[in-house]
Structure 1
Amino acid sequence: MAALGTLAVMGFRAPSPDSLYETAAVTRQDIESTVAATGKIQPHAYVDVGAQVSGQLKRLHVAVGDKVTAGMVVAEIDAEMQAAKVEGIEADLARLSAELAEQEAGLVFAKRNVERHLTLSQTSAVSQLAFETTTRDRDILIARIDASKARIRQMQADLRAQKTALRFARITAPMGGTVVSVDAKEGQTLNANYDTPLILQIADLDTMTVWTDVSEADVVKLREGMPLWFTTLGRPDRKWHARLRQIQPAPRRPDKKAEPKAATQSGNVVLYTALFDIPNEDGGLRAGMTAQVFFVTAASKDALVVPVSALSEGRVRVLLDDGKIAARKLETGVRTRFLVEVTRGVAEGERVITGVKAPGPPAKLRVES
C-alpha cells in the first residue's frame, strides 16, 4: 500500500516544461537568403565552322577534343575546279591585255593620222570626207579601248573571287579553342550553293556561361552584379561562386517545333534568362551540364539565428532555466524558409519554443508481487 501511494503521488506530479514543448537553441551560423533556379552550362564563346565553297572534303585535320589556334588549317576541300577557273581567267586576262595593247598602238597611229589630215585639210590637200573618216576611226578605237578596259576590270574582279574561293578551300579556325563536335567526314561532298555546310564546332572551354531560367515572380529580386553560387548534379558537394552578369529584358523565345510541348510542361510560366560566367581552367564544367543556381539576395556571417517556426508576430517565447516562459520581441534581419537572423531580443544558448509536444499514450502501471 505504501508503494502504491508513492507511485500515485509521482503520477500526479506536474509535468516538466521539456515534456510539454518543442524547443530549439539560439545558435550562431552563417545565413543567406537565396532565389533558386535551374540553368544550363554552355561555352562562353563558340563558332560553327562551315564550307563556303562546294566540293569533296579532301582532308580533315582535327578530331573532337583537339585543341586549335586561330588561323590553323582544320580541313581542306578538293579545289581542282577552283584552280582551273583561276587558270582560265588568268589566260583570258592575258589575251585581253594583249588586245588592249594592240588597240592602244592603233590609237596612237589614228591620232597622228587625224593631225596630218587636219593640217592637209587647211590647204585643201585632202577632202573633208577623208578628214572625217580618220576622226571616226580614232573615236572608234577610243571606244574599243574603253570597252576592253571595262572587260579587264570585270575579269580582274572574277579572278579575285575565284582566288578567294580557292583560298576558302583551305578552311582555317576563326578562333582558338577546343573542337567540340565534327559534323562532316572525309570524302563527303559539300554543297555550299544553297546553305553553308557545317563541318565542325570550336568552343572556348576555359570560360563557361550559365544560362539560367528564372520565373517572373523571382526575377524582380535579382540585380546585375549580385553574388551567387551553384552546384552540378555530378558534384553536389562543390560550390562554384560567381556574380550575375546580365538579365535579359525579354523572355527567351522557345523553339517553334518544341513550343507546344514546352508550354504543356511549363504550364505557361514566363521565364527570364539570367547569365553569368565562370572560369573553367580545370575543366570541371562541361557543356550541357545542369546547374542548380542560388542567387544570394541577402547574407549575414556568424549571425544569431532562430527557427522561423518559433516566431509569432515578431515575438518568441523563451524557456528559462527555472522552467518559466518569457515572451520576447525580436529585431530580425536575413530570413530564409527555415531560419531568421536575430539582431536583438535573445542571447546565444537560450532556448526558444517552436511548438507543443503531442501528448503520448497513458503510461501503464504494473505492480509486481
Structure 2
Amino acid sequence: MTRRRKAWIGAVVLALLVAVLGVGFAKRRNAGSVEVETEVLRKRDLVAIVSASGEIQPQRSVDVHANSNGRIVRLAVREGQAVTRGDFLLQIDPVTAQSASEAQSAVVRAAERDTEALRAELEQSRRELGRVRELADKDLISQEELQRSQTTVERVQAQLSAALARVDQARAGLRGSRYELSQVTVSAPMSGIVTRLNVEEGEFAFSTGLSPTLLLTIADLAVMEAEVKVDETDVVNVKVGQPADVTVDAFPDTTFHGSVSEVGTSPILVEGKTPEDARDFKVVVTLHEALPVAREGLSATADVETARTPGAVALPIQSLVVREVPRPKLREAPPDTLEGGEETEGVFVVRAGVARFVAVDVGITGDRFFQVRGGVAPGDTVVSGSYEALRDLDDGDRVRITTPPGDERDRRRREGRASQSGDDGEGADGRDSRDDAQGSATAGDDPEANPRA
C-alpha cells in the first residue's frame, strides 16, 4: 500500500469521525427541545368583519289585501308588470256593495223627508201657540189650553231633533257603504313592479277574518336591501352607517357596496321556538348600486366592516394561547409566595432558543391576525405552529425552529409579497369575535388551529 493511499484512507476515517461527533453533538444539543414554527411580528392594516347571510329585498314594498268580500271579476295586471300609483289593478264583484249603498241612500232620503214633515209640524205648532197665547192674555181661554199648546211645540221640537240625528246617522251609513263600494275597485297604492300576484280572475276574495286575502305585492326595485341574520355575539358590534360589501349568489363575480341602515333590537322569532331560543338579529344593508337584474328573495351574504386599524401590530391567530399564570398569595406576602394561577392570554416569544410566555392585550380581529395593543412589538419572533407544539409548550422550554412544508412556505411567501405591496388581504372573511376568528382560522386555509386551552 502506497503512502498516498494510506493518506486518503486516513482522511476518510477522520471525516467520518467528525461527522459522527457532529451528529452526536447535535442530538445532545437538541435533546429536550421542541420543534416549532415561528413568525416575525410586523405592522399590518387590520379590518374586523361580521359576515351574515340573508336575502335581497326591495326597500319599499306594499302588500295589497282584499278590503271587500266577493269574486274577482276583472284582473288587469300580471306578475312583473310595471304600474303607476292610481292605476287600476282589479275589481271584485260590486253587486253586494252597490246594493247596500243604494239601500242606504233610500234610508237617507226617508230620514230627510221625515225631517221636513216635522219642520212643517213645528211651524204649525208655533203659530197655534201664538194664537192661544193672545186669547189667554184676554182671558178668553183657560191656562190649561195654553199649557197644552206649549207642550205640543216642545214635543215637536224634540221629534225634529231626533229626526235630524237619524239623518246624520243615515248619511254616515251612506258614506260607509259608498266606501265599501269603492273598495271593490283596487288601484295601485304606489308606483313599482308587481312582484307577486296571488289571485286569478274568478277566485273569491275575503276581507274578513284574521287573514284577509293577499291579492298582490308591489315593490320599488330601484333601491334594494340585503336583510341578513346576525348572531347575537356579533350584532353588538354592528352599527348603523358601517360600510358593507354584499355578494349575491346570482352574480358571483360582482361585489355590491352598501351601508348598514337598520339593526334589529329584538331577536328574530322562529316558528316552533321560544324567544329564549332566538339568537339571531335582523340587520339591513342598503345597497348603493343597482343590481343587474333586480329580484326579490335572491340569496346574499353581507360582510360588514365593524372596525379598522391601520398599521396595527399583527399577531397570527394561531399564536394566541391561554396559560395559567401564578399570582401572589397576598399583597404583603413575599413575591415568591404563590397561590393557584389565573388564565391569561398570551404568546410564546422565542429568545435565544427559549420560548418565553408573554401576556398580550388583544384588540380587533382580522381574517388571520389579531391586533396586539401591548406585550409584544414589531420584530419579535413568536411561535406560530404547529398546533401540537403550541398545545403542550410551556414557558422556558427550549425550541428549535423548523421550516414549514413546501406548500405552506410558498403560501407564506405570497402573503409576504402581498403585504409588502400594501394589501395584506385582511378582512375578507374575518369575524368580530375572537372565538369566531379562531374557528375561521381552523376551518380556513391555515391548517394550524388556535390552541387557546
The TM tier, using the shorter chain, reads: 0.7 to 0.9
Separation (CA, whole Å) in 2 of partners of 1:178 and 1:345: 57
Please give the residue correspondences for 1:1-369 in structure 2 after superposition, counting only pairs within 5 Å.
32-195=47-210, 196-255=212-271, 258-259=272-273, 270-279=279-288, 281-299=290-308, 336-339=366-369, 345=378, 356-357=402-403
Q: Name the stretch that deviates more: 334-343 or 20-29.
A: 20-29
Cα pair distance change 1:66/1:99, threshold 3 Å: same
Q: Is the 8 Å Cα contact of residues 310 and 316 (structure 1) preserved in structure 2?
A: no
Deviations 1:318-364 (A, max 9, x none): xxxxxxx9x9x999997534357899745xxxxx997724899xxxx
Please list every run of 5 or more consecutive structure 1 residues that lacks an aligned counterpart in the other structure.
15-19, 318-324, 347-351, 361-369
Judge which range, 227-236 or 127-136, deviates more. 127-136
Q: Which residue identity does 2:178 align to in structure 1?
A: K
CA contact (8 A) 2:57 2:226 kept: yes
TM superposition shift of 1:115: 0.9
* Superimposed CA distance per residue, residues 45-84 of structure 1 (whole angstroms, 9 cap, x where no aligned partner): 2221112111221111211111222222211112122222
Distance, in Å, in 2 between the alignment partners of 1:227 and 1:152 is 62
Gapped regions of structure 2 (runs ≥ 5): 24-34, 322-345, 387-401, 407-453
Judge conservation of contact 2:257–2:289 (CA < 8 Å) in 1: no
- Do the aligned partners of residues 30 and 90 (structure 1) sit closer, same or farther apart at CA in structure 2, a change above 3 Å counting? same
* CA displacement at 1:155 relative to structure 2: 0.7
SS in 2 for 1:200: strand
Which amino acid letter does the alignment assign opposite residue 230 of structure 1?
Answer: V
Alpha-carbon distance in 1 for matches of 2:384, 2:40: 9
CA distance in 2 between counterparts of 1:156 and 1:311 reads 79
Shift of 1:165: 0.8
Note if contact 2:40-2:378 (Cα within 8 Å) is conserved in structure 1: no
Partners in 2 of 1:274 and 1:99 — Cα distance?
A: 63
RCO higher in structure (CA 8 A, sep ≥6): 1
Q: What is the rounded CA distance, in whole Å, between the counterparts of 2:318 and 2:136 in structure 1? A: 121
Between the two proteins, what is the percent identity of the paired residues? 25
Secondary structure of residue in 1 paired with 2:90: strand
Cα pair distance change 1:353/1:182, threshold 3 Å:
closer
Question: Given residue 259 of structure 1, which amino acid in structure 2 is its aligned partner?
Answer: K
- In the alignment, the residues of structure 2 paired with residue 192 and residue 331 of structure 1 have an alpha-carbon distance, to the nearest angstrom, of 62
Distance in 1 between the 2:405 and 2:160 partners?
Answer: 114
The secondary structure found in structure 1 opposite 2:254 is coil
Amino acid at match of 2:297: G
CA distance in structure 2 between the aligned counterparts of 1:208 and 1:235, rounded to whole angstroms: 15
Cα shift at 1:251: 1.3
**Hey, what's the Cα distance between the residues in 2 that align with 1:147 and 1:299?**
75
Q: Equivalents in 1 of 2:126, 2:114: separation in Å?
A: 18
Alpha-carbon shift at residue 271 of structure 1 (Å): 2.0
- Alpha carbons of 1:105 and 1:283: their partners in 2 closer, same or farther (altered >3 Å)? farther
TM-score, with length taken from structure 1: 0.73
Instruction: State the match for 2:448 in structure 1.
Output: none
109-118 or 195-204: bigger deviation: 195-204
CA contact (8 A) 2:37 2:403 kept: yes
- Deviation, 1:88, is 2.6
Give the Cα separation in 1 of the matches to 2:261 and 2:160.
Answer: 63
Structure 1 91/280 Cα, relative in aligned 2: closer, same or farther at 3 Å?
A: farther
Shift of 1:153: 1.0
User: Quick one: structure 1 residues 155 and 220, their matched pair in 2 at CA, closer, same or farther if it must change by over 3 Å?
Assistant: closer
The 1-side partners of 2:99 and 2:317 are apart by 81
Cα 1:277–1:99 shift into 2, 3 Å: same
